[in-house]
Structures are given as structure tokens and as C-alpha cells.
Amino acid sequence: MDAAPDRLAAPDRLTDRLRAGLPSDAVLTDPDITASYAHDMASFCAAGRPAVVVLPRTVEQVQHVMRTATELRVPVVPQGARTGLSGAANASDGCIVLSLLKMDRILEISPVDRIAVVEPGVVNAALSRAVAAHGLCYPPDPSSWEQCTIGGNIGTASGGLCCVKYGVTAEYVLGLDVVLADGRLLTTGRRTAKGVAGYDLTRLFVGSEGSLGIVVRAVLALKPTPPEQLVLAAEFASASAACDAVCAIMEGGHVPSLLELMDRTTIQAVNAMAHMGLPDTTEALLLAAFDTPDPAADLAAVGALCTAAGATDVVPADDHAESELLLKARRLSLTALEAVKGTTMIDDVCVPRSQLGAMLDGTARIAEKYDLTIGLCAHAGDGNTHPTVCFDAADPDESRRARESFDAIMALGLELGGTITGEHGVGVLKKEWLAREIGPVGVELQRGIKQTFDPLHLLNPGKVL
């Protein structure tokens, strides 16, 4: 998918054509400003220099951008809040960066149909707060939920802490309005509870990282607001014992609203940053939560399973405030690990739950082999691990070892029957690994899909495949 347009439009001609259909303040050309839109939060991902940044506010303005791009053969890189971790929002040289942050309206909330209709720039947390006023919730909750946008969540098919019970973004996107590469507007899906008319194009766009079209409106499914959850913390003397507890919990038919794991390295990093007094001598900390009618009973049952698996201490929270205190440590994990060396590479390899212990043990061996600090936290309930490589970006040798360890972790995940990305997407960072995972036939078919939707290869070139 690296095919570039045959030619790039002269900058003045491009900006003049864009301004013909956009407000003057929606077209940014100052090099210092456009440079600030060049990349997301991923390490080791090349980023080019955009020719222009546009911030449309309407569907018609997005259509104008794409028609202009098609006419002048200029690549377009769609962006949300740029909180991604795979380089999917990184600019390419001479491109139009299409920022959707100004399209941030919640168009409709229907308690009867249990849907919300939103523009792509709506921040995840803003939507959650808006629907909560109607006794509803939008479950997908990425760790960046206070900054990330719904459009970005759709582009990367993002997950979050509550996926073990409520699922990921793809399960809540019912329908989309999408501006295609040539400026046409496509409507997919439905706003009904059921619907199987034709191929499921909605799911095709979810996770496509802006490489097939520009999402300009989304119909999202909502759930009734669950009761407040209670959290249990269990300490383990080994990571394998904690993983045994995870397997016992899931095999026992329990449905926690959250099941998260932190290894010793992560615990120590959180303590160093936030002085939370976590047990940094333990090898693994498991957090389980329930939002059922009787969460205390569920926590007691899960606590017994943890003890049977070898937990050295099990502490159930008594109330919501205590639960939030326990969860704060998990939410701080990635920020704390970044503080260890200043730079991190955050992987999101997902493996079958039965292989979670092997994934943790293998990651520890990789950290030892490459002489690096690698902390691991995980959405343990669905096997989605986040090995986080900590390194000094100013040290060339350490940077090299960091990249090699990152690749080794992805190879380990595939060996265990997993996938290279559970929720962060492919972007630039994992392009080569995607081909290894899906194989030559998969690559051929996916490239055929790309060719159908974007024959000029203008949309987010160099990403995914």
C-alpha cells in the first residue's frame, strides 16, 4: 500500500483550491503549526511534513477536501486526537492532514432505541457523560478516553478496561456515514437493533485506520448504566500463579466487568511515580471488578479462586471510593512506565487466555536477553497484554535493543496463537508483522479491498499494508 500519487500539487494551488470550499481559519499552512500535526504518540514511526492541515466542520467540507485531493492527486491523512500508539495518524510528505477535531457534535441520544449519533471528533469521555444523563452508557473506554475521539476509536477498533464483559468498539458501531476517496458519501449499517442487509461494510471500516474512507458520522449502540462496580486486589508470588487465577475465574463462568494484571516492574514504576504504597515485593497484582447486583458475593467467589491459585493476599474493596483508589494504580501504569527511562514502546499483543502465563514468562525472558526494563500490564480477562519497553531514546544501542525486543514480543505472541494487535492498530509500526500474521492470501485480498475503495491510494498511504 506504499504506492504514492504520481505527482503532488503545487502548495499554492492546493491551498487555493481547499480555501474555495473551506473557511479561511480551517486551512493551516504555517510550517510550525502543521509540524505539530505530523505524528501520533508512537515511537519508531516515521512521519513526513504535511503540506497543509485542514479542520472541516461539516460533511460537505470533508467532501470538498477529498474531491480536491482526488483532482490534484494529493494524499490525505485523517486524524483524531493523535493519541494512537501505532503511527496510524502520522503525516506523509506533502499530504493534506485532515483533522476531524472540529466535527465534535453529539447529534442525537435516543434512550428508547439506545443509540447515540455522533460526529467523529466527539471525545469518548464527553459522550460517556452525555449519555449518563439519560441512564445509559457507552462501554468502550480506552485508557486515553479523556482525550481520544470516537472517530479515532473507530479507526483503530480500540478497546479498554471493560472489554472483558462489554466488548470492544466494533461491537457498538451500528452504522456509519463515510466520505470516500473521490468525495462521494456512503451510508452503511443501520440504527435498528438487528439488520443483515448485504455485506457488513460497517465492520469493514472499523479498524481500517482511515485507509478506506473518512468517517463523518457514527450510529453507536448504548447500554443501560450498570451498578457501581466493586474491585478486588489479589497479590501473587509469581506471574504464572496470577495467570492461573485468571484461567480459573473465566473457566468458572464468572463475568467480571474488569480483570486487569500488573507485573512487578509495573507496580514498582507506579509506586515510584505516585507513592501509592502498592506491594512492590510481589510479582503480580490482579484486579477484578464486578458491577452485578451483588458484587460483594462475586468478589468473595473470585477471591477464593485467587487464594486457591496461590494468592498471598486478597483485599476486596468495601465501597466505590476504595475501588477507584485500587483502579488508579492500573490507570497510571503506562504513564509510570514512561517515566522509568523517558521513552516507551507499548505493545498490545493479544493471546488466548490459556497462553497468558506463557506470554508473561516469555516477555520476562526477552527483557533479560536484551537487558531492558519491560513492564507488563494486561487486560487479563481477554488476553490483551501491554508489554511496555522502557528505553533511553538518546542512546542508539538501547534504542536498537528496544526495537528488537519489541519485534521479539510480537513474534512470541504469534507463536502462542495470538495477534500482533488487540486494540492499538497496525499503522506504520506493525505493517511488516501484519503480513506475517494474515499470510499472502490475506494480504492479496486486503489489498484488493483497498484498491476498490481507494484506487489512487490517496487515503493514509503507507499504513496498514
Looking at the chain, the domain(s) classified CATH 3.30.465.10 span: 106-224
Cell of 250: 473465566
State the Cα angle at 233 between 232 and 237, rounded to 5°: 145
The rounded distance, in Å, linking the Cα atoms of 241 and 284 is 9
Helix ranges (H only) for 28-106 are 31-35, 59-72
Range 444-450 average pLDDT: 97
Q: Provide the pairing of β-strand 214-221 with 173-179.
A: antiparallel
* DSSP element (H, E) containing 55: none
Give the SS3 label for residue 252.
coil
Which pLDDT value is given to residue 7? Answer: 47
Q: Is the pLDDT of residue 423 over 90?
A: yes
DSSP one-letter string for 345-387? EE-B-B--GGGHHHHHHHHHHHHHHTT-EEEEEEEGGGTEEEE
pLDDT grade for 1, boundaries at 50, 70 and 90: very low
State the Cα angle at 200 between 143 and 429, rounded to 5°: 40
Per-residue pLDDT tens over the stretch 119-147? 999 999 999 999 999 999 999 988 888 99
pLDDT grade for 43, boundaries at 50, 70 and 90: confident
pLDDT grade for 203, boundaries at 50, 70 and 90: very high
Q: Is the pLDDT of residue 379 over 80?
A: yes
Return the exposure string of 83-122: e unless at least 16 CB atoms fall within 10 Å of the residue's CB, then b: bbbbbbbbbbebbbbbbbbbbbeeeebeeebbbbbbbbbb
- Average pLDDT over the chain reads 94
Which pLDDT value is given to residue 9? Answer: 59
Q: Which CATH superfamily is domain 230-415 in?
A: FAD-linked oxidases, C-terminal domain (3.40.462.10)
Q: Which residue in this structure is represented by grid cell 526477552?
A: 366
Per-residue pLDDT tens over the stretch 219-235? 999 999 999 999 999 99
Smallest Cα–Cα separation from 90: which of 32, 134, 34, 47? Answer: 47
Contact 360, 245 (CB under 8 A): no
Could you tell me what percent of the chain has a pLDDT over 90? Answer: 88
Which residues, 6 or more positions from 255, have their beta carbon under 8 angstroms from its beta carbon? 164, 165, 292
The rounded distance, in Å, linking the Cα atoms of 124 and 98 is 19
Range 318-342 average pLDDT: 90
Sign of the torsion angle spanned by Cα atoms 150, 152, 154, 157: negative
For the CA atoms of 227, 119, 204, 195, what is the dihedral angle to 10 degrees?
A: 60
> Which fold does the domain 106-224 belong to in CATH?
3.30.465
Smallest Cα–Cα separation from 461: which of 91, 71, 42, 8? Answer: 91
Q: Is the pLDDT of residue 439 over 50?
A: yes
Give the SS3 label for residue 321.
helix
Looking at the chain, the domain(s) classified CATH 3.40.462.10 span: 230-415
DSSP one-letter string for 195-231? ---SS-HHHHHTTSTTSS-EEEEEEEE-EEPPPPPEE
Instruction: Please give the C-alpha separations between residue 201 and each of 156, 181, 210, 213, 321, in angstroms, as whole numbers.
Output: 16, 16, 14, 11, 42
Give the SS3 label for residue 236.
strand
Maximum alpha-carbon separation in the chain: 70
Per-residue pLDDT tens over the stretch 235-255? 999 999 999 999 999 999 999
The rounded distance, in Å, linking the Cα atoms of 439 and 435 is 6
Give the SS3 label for residue 391.
strand
Q: Is the pLDDT of residue 216 over 90?
A: yes
Give the sheet arrangement for strand 343-346, strand by strand. Answer: 311-316, 230-236, 284-290, 258-263, 373-379, 384-391, 343-346
Sign of the torsion angle spanned by Cα atoms 351, 356, 360, 361: negative
Hey, which residues does 123 pair with through a beta bridge? 149
